[in-house]
Structure 1
Amino acid sequence: MQYHRITSINDPYFASLHALLKRIFPPEEVLAYELWKEPLEDPGIHVYVAVDNGEVVGSTEYRYYPELRVAMTDFTIIGVANKGIGRFLMRSREKDLARLARESGTAPIGMFAEIYNPYERGEHEFGGVTPMNPFVRREVLSHIGYKMINFPYVHPSWEHNGKAVEGLNLCFLPADEELAAIPAALVVQFLEIYYSALPNKPQQWLDMVEGLRGRDQLELLPI
């Protein structure tokens, strides 16, 4: 299996990746095809696909913020079952993030991820691929070590319509698995940087961030 980075919408694998995104995720989670041009050309955004016999069978997107010493996993997609794609993507991402941290001279403290909470809103369909079932994904991410940051979470829609997307938790994979809380200021910094690409923020998101400014530490809970 090949771990291939996509840096242009003209990459021969990008059309397959975007089709996979639309098949797996709800519309509000998927950026329009033409709007991928700038993100893919951003050296700080890492989009990789797992290619098996010339076919895109999975993908992951992530970034590393050396000034915050944190990473963010934007998504991990498994398109075909029983190929070990999830493990392949996770280990390849780990190695690449270690390289990015090493090159920046920093020691990462953890990695953020938005994780669906099917217990809150009911099951999502996710393209009928069993490994992408939100109950399965949530349990796998719990096994990896992700913890839920204890506050009500929404995020701006990637459809650029100014709507708030609910039904997810902001979670954190701490480098120190005994860590019980993280600074609220770190979460605010991260969210403001991460969502700077979406100028049309919903009021619900703005209120959420403002509420975090008045807090000190945010508890990390099991998922």
Structure 2
Amino acid sequence: MEYSRITSIEDPLFTQMHQLMQTVFPKEEVLEFSLWKEPLEDPGIRVFVAVLEGEVVGATEYRYYEDFNVAMTDFTIIGKANLGIGPFLANKRAEDLHRLAADNGKKLFGMFAEIYDPYKVDHYEFGGVKPMDPYVRREVLAHLGYNRLDFSYVHPSWNNDGEAVTGLDLCFLPMEAGTTELPASLIVDFLKRYYSVLSNKPQTWISMVEELEKKETVALKVF
């Protein structure tokens, strides 16, 4: 299996990846094809695919923020079962992020991720790919060490239509053992940076950020 970076919508592997995203994710979670041009060309956004015999069988997008010394996993896609795609992507991503942090003269502080909460929403469609089932993913991420940040989370729809997307938790994987909370200011700064590309944010998201700005810390809780 190869770990190949995509930096252009002209890359045939990107066409495969975008089709895979449409198969796996709810439509409001998938950015329209042409709107990927700038993100893919952004050196700070890292999009990699797992390629097996010329076929994209998995993908992950993530980024490292040098000033915050944290990463964000935008998504991980496992397109087929029983190929070890999940561990392959997780290990390759971790190697890359630790190298980026080292190049920044630091040890990676941790990584954010948005994780579906299947206990909040009755049903999710994930293309029938069992490893993408929210119950499975949540347990896997818990075993990896992710914790839920203790506040009610919404995020702006990637359709940029001003709608709020619910049914997720904002989570964090600390690299330092014994980390039980995060500075609320780090979460606020991260969210504002991460969603700066979306101009049409829902009022519920704005209110959520305003409430976070009133806090000193936010606790990390197990799932």
Alpha-carbon offset, residue 177 of structure 1: 3.1
Distance in 1 (alpha carbons) for counterparts of 2:222 and 2:103: 32
* Aligned-CA RMSD value: 0.6
1:211 correspondence with 2:216? no
Q: Which residue does the alignment assign to 1:67?
A: 67
SS at match of 1:123: coil
1:108 CA drift (Å): 1.5
Match of 2:222 in 1: 222
Higher helix share: 1
Query: What displacement does 1:125 show?
Result: 1.8
Amino acid at match of 1:176: E
Aligned positions of 1:11-160 closer than 5 A: 11-160=11-160
Aligned counterpart, 2:161: 161
In 2, Cα distance between equivalents of 1:2 and 1:108: 25
TM value normalised by structure 1: 0.99
Whether the 8 Å CA contact 1:66–1:106 is kept in 2: the answer is no
Count of residues in Structure 1 that have an aligned counterpart in Structure 2: 223
SS in 2 for 1:173: strand
Percent identical among aligned pairs is 59
Q: Quote the Cα distance in structure 2 between the aligned partners of 1:5 and 1:202.
A: 33
In the TM superposition, what is the alpha-carbon distance from 1:107 to its structure 2 partner?
1.9
Q: TM-score, normalized by length of structure 2?
A: 0.99
Runs of 4+ with deviation above 2 angstroms: none
Deviation, 1:123, is 3.0
Structure 1 residues 42-98: Cα deviation after superposition (integer angstroms, max 9, x where no partner): 000000000000000000000000100100000000000000000000000011101
Moved more, 75-84 or 94-103: 94-103
Q: Tell me whether 173-182 or 68-77 shows the greater mean CA deviation.
A: 173-182
